[in-house]
Structure 1
């Protein structure tokens, strides 16, 4: 049974890659083989050299890639600075805690030295996210490339389109379907919460003001009481925006299945985590993976990352190849 699950997952990943490389987009594996043959190696070597010294950056690279793809597609618009007094995506509340912009800039500088004006910031972000997962014990998968960079970045679009940690299952699923993703994508991409940290104010309403009455004991009843008590000791007020908490306690620097085990025990940090077990199909998917070898999760996670990485991409003559990831080219 387990062997069949592993094989089935592998087939699904292959199918996703074919779909992305075929009719759905113009992305393809090895896009830079002739124009910048060392591109993927340069990204991978930089990630392998630096992530071990700052493993939390792996989580922020995945999150940045996710936030980028959900707004205007995977076009690196999240990396753009505000211009002309108009705030950009990175100025929106969901993106204020993103880090790793300098990390991407350093990779871009290496690639510009190797092959100027060839490799997009959008592809760098997708590749770096993939490689960082591998460094911290997760899967490695083929990333179709050929994305081009967008030239527009609008704060309000990020506020409107990035899924919020307070969403219930119905709203979450709709936000994914709006991007041509499905229920399995929601479940498996949520697994990225196995690594990383969060500020208390991202979930403190679950601890102090769940019903909006701000009365003593106003705690989200879907939280395990012991876990809620632990979080309240760490996050002492509703408005604490400086304290950070591990998303996956005891395992937040390792890409594994412990996040899902915590969710099943009602120990998911966000309401969106808890929402995953309010739907029968979603919960069944989680149970099937938790009871299987880690390779099964690795395969389905990779499949969903490939699908997410193809959202509304710009290819061909669309967009541009930025010289600097934070700035639109001067024409």
Structure 2
């Protein structure tokens, strides 16, 4: 009993620390040192997304994956070193694209304001701007993050919630980062844009419990449709996460989940909890959706997880390497 109480105290402390640690961030952080940074990032991101609209989802996902491992410190951007595979080499990150886009934006910012703006801040801004360019919400991004110097593939594997997590595991994963159940269901809505490889969900279609069965949580017509696209061993085909509007940030994801057409186990899991289920159905049917407002709020909250500020970390000259 004493051990359990001690564990709970530590868990609550860490959750509070995750949130409070973001207090070193502020709006207009670069007002004097690089006043045009947001305009520069917005302009360059627009060029990137205009040429490749499907990069918006990976860039948003990259920010999420960065924040869930060591906090929002740009560690997901670092390349591996001798004897140390980096986060980007970990299985959950091997499908992420767009690292060269962050490098491109950083390069433009460096020309204007050398050694001033962190890669972590640039990633947070790019994620916001890419979302907005796909008709998603706008949110003000508090800045002042510093870049971390450590990136480890094993940490990514153990900190990022995989697509096969159930609702209990998802809630625990988010809680460990200071995010609550509402943040979980709101941030899951980012699956309204982007695609996924068949291999991330094919077990739900062909071998859910190891006896050649299908996940009963999936709509049978949806299963038939997905089987037409994905064979049991397909590792290359991409499937839209929000069919019909995967290039538009909207509430369509929740309508799909409500119809039992969430692509991942983690999507379907949102129907297994009273609070997340209620939110899914509200956004799927409500004409006055709160999703955009909620998403903006949760993104700001997520962007403050375990940030490095002040004299911590560094301002990397190039995002893939420590100085």
2:120 counterpart of 1:122:
yes
Number of the residue aligned with 2:220: 225
- For residue 84 of structure 1, report the CA deviation from its aligned partner: 1.4
Match of 2:57 in 1: 59
- The residue aligned with 2:5 is none
CA distance in structure 2 between the aligned counterparts of 1:24 and 1:325, rounded to whole angstroms: 21
**Does structure 2 conserve the Cα–Cα contact (< 8 Å) formed by 1:21 and 1:27?**
no
Could you tell me which residue of structure 1 aligns to residue 230 of structure 2?
Answer: 235
Quote the residue 2:10 is aligned against: none
**Mind listing any 5+ residue stretches in structure 2 that lack a counterpart?**
1-17
Maintained 8 Å contact 1:69/1:311: yes
From 100, 103, 107, give the equivalent of 1:102.
100
Match of 2:81 in 1: 83
Paired with 1:321 and 1:312, the residues of 2 have a C-alpha distance of 16
Backbone CA RMSD of aligned residues: 1.5
Any conservation in 2 of the 1:21–1:28 contact (CA below 8 Å)? no
The match for 1:290 is 284
Matches of 1:28 and 1:262, distance apart in 2: 37
In the alignment, the residues of structure 1 paired with residue 288 and residue 206 of structure 2 have an alpha-carbon distance, to the nearest angstrom, of 36
2:111 aligns to what?
Answer: 113
**Correspondences of 1:208-287 after superposition (within 5 Å):** 208-213=206-211, 215=212, 218-237=213-232, 239-287=233-281
**What TM-score results when the alignment is normalised by the length of structure 1?**
0.90
Q: Give matches, 1:31-70, under 5 Å.
A: 31-70=29-68
Deviation at 1:23, TM superposition (A): 7.5
SS at match of 1:277: helix
Instruction: Tell me how far 1:314 sits from its aligned partner.
Output: 0.2
Q: Distance in 1 between matches of 2:273 and 2:20?
A: 33
Compared with structure 1, are the counterparts of its residues 294 and 164 closer, same or farther at alpha carbon in structure 2 (3 Å cutoff)?
A: farther
Q: Distance in 1 between matches of 2:22 and 2:35?
A: 25
- Indicate conservation of the 8 Å contact 2:119/2:316, yes or no: yes
Does structure 2 retain, via aligned residues, the 8 Å contact 1:58–1:129? yes
Deviation of 1:288 (Å): 2.2
Give the deviation of 1:249 after TM superposition.
0.5
Alpha-carbon spacing, 1:102–1:23, altered in 2? closer, same or farther (3 Å): closer
Q: Does 1:176 align with 2:174?
A: yes
Q: Which one of 174, 178, 196 corresponds to residue 194 of structure 2?
A: 196
Q: Tell me, what secondary structure is at the counterpart of 2:44?
A: helix
The alignment status of 1:318 with 2:316, answered yes or no, reads no
Aligned length: 307
CA distance in 1, matches of 2:225, 2:283: 27
Distance in 1, Cα, partners of 2:282 & 2:22: 29
Distance 2:123 2:279 in 1: 29
Shift, 1:234, TM fit? 0.5
Moved more, 288-297 or 52-61: 288-297
Q: Secondary structure at the match of 2:196?
A: strand
Sort the Cα spacing of 1:111 and 1:258 in 2 relative to 1 into closer, same or farther, 3 A: same
